[in-house]
Amino acid sequence: MTSHYLIGVAFGIFGGILTQVGQLLEKRAVNQVRVDSRENGFFRRLVKSPVWVSGVIFGLGGGTAAYMLAQSMIGPALTPGLMASGLVVLAVGSVRMNHETLNTSEMVGIGLMILGILFLGLSGLAINSGQVRTTLVNLHALQRIAAFTASFFLFSLITRSLAPRINNRKGMLIALANGFLSCLSDFWINPLLALLAIVLGGRSTTTQLIIFAIAALILTMCGTVITWQNQLAFKYAQASNVVPVAQVPIQIAPILVYFFIFALTPPSSISVFYILAGTILTIIAGFLLGRREEVSFD
């Protein structure tokens, strides 16, 4: 393994830790606002909380910066798995800092999620910037990208629309909808990073400029909606349940990106085992973590 690869892995892990520290702080702020006042103005009161602002700085600021560095070094297939290493911090912090409880099946679920993420990380499905730029000039690949993007937007809309209709599952469904949007962010940040120097240097083609603009628009929209919906999910469910549930599509999507969009082959025969094992464990973990009934605070 090269030093470049190892540095990318380190940024992925560090980004995951910062992101989950931010989530813990946001959840703490949501709990305080939710208990202090149940009248209208939940978001207005939330943004005035120093704890919530600190969470945004840690998670959306520091976590995103580390995530982007990891993406630029090792690509979209490995980074989401490495980022999810912060689930260990989330599990411990949820109990110690936010006084959440975990039953036996949920502890097993978090353990299986971490093991599944480890397997997916060991699969070695790295994608570099050169492969991203090559893919962006292929018409068939662009069609696959369009299908992938439209499908995940649709999955997110369907899941989010179900949230108000299913009792005791609002937070989980909102989190799942966020997970689908995060898949889009995880993918579209790569065209943005791959084309950034070309666009800023004034050397981009019309097609590259359009793709860059689409990537920036999707990332801005997804980031805003995810941040807003996270706070809603935290109103109804524990962070230790909500965040891992969102990881189910986040961990599976890179496999589609690697094989469907980039049409690459596994780096080794053992990679197939890691991919299958990681995917199965992640799905089982999501089921175990999504079983808890929620309490409405409307």
Q: What is the pLDDT of residues 4-51, one digit of tens each?
A: 778 888 898 899 899 999 999 998 998 888 655 555 677 788 888 999
Q: Is the pLDDT of residue 190 over 70?
A: yes
Q: What number is the average pLDDT over the span 132-154?
A: 92
Residue 56, CB-side half-sphere exposure with 13 Å CA sphere: 17
Interval 147-171: pLDDT, tens: 999 999 999 999 999 988 887 788 8
Name the one residue in this structure whose structure tokens are 């299913």: 166
Q: Is the pLDDT of residue 291 over 80?
A: no
Given pLDDT bands bounded at 50, 70 and 90, which one contains residue 209? very high
Q: Is the pLDDT of residue 225 over 60?
A: yes
Q: Are 70 and 15 in contact (CB under 8 A)?
A: yes
Question: Mapping DSSP to helix (H, G, I), strand (E, B) and coil, where does residue 202 land?
Answer: coil
Q: Are 20 and 87 in contact (CB under 8 A)?
A: yes
Quote the DSSP letter at residue 268: S
Given pLDDT bands bounded at 50, 70 and 90, which one contains residue 279? confident
Given pLDDT bands bounded at 50, 70 and 90, which one contains residue 237? confident
Q: What number is the average pLDDT over the span 129-156?
A: 91
| Cα separation, 109 vs 113, whole angstroms | 6
Given pLDDT bands bounded at 50, 70 and 90, which one contains residue 143? very high
Q: Are 28 and 59 in contact (CB under 8 A)?
A: no
Tell me what percent of the residues of the chain surpass a pLDDT of 70: 95
Residues 6+ apart with CB under 8 A from 173: 159, 160, 162, 163, 166
Q: What number is the average pLDDT over the span 112-122?
A: 81
Q: Is the pLDDT of residue 215 over 80?
A: yes
Given pLDDT bands bounded at 50, 70 and 90, which one contains residue 184? very high
**Rounded mean pLDDT of the chain?**
85
Torsion of CA 145, 147, 152, 154, to 10 degrees: 150
Structure pTM? 0.82
Q: Is the pLDDT of residue 294 over 80?
A: no
Q: Is the pLDDT of residue 73 over 90?
A: no
67: nearest Cα among 82, 87, 52: 82
Q: Are 83 and 70 in contact (CB under 8 A)?
A: yes
Q: Can you give the pLDDT at residue 37?
A: 54
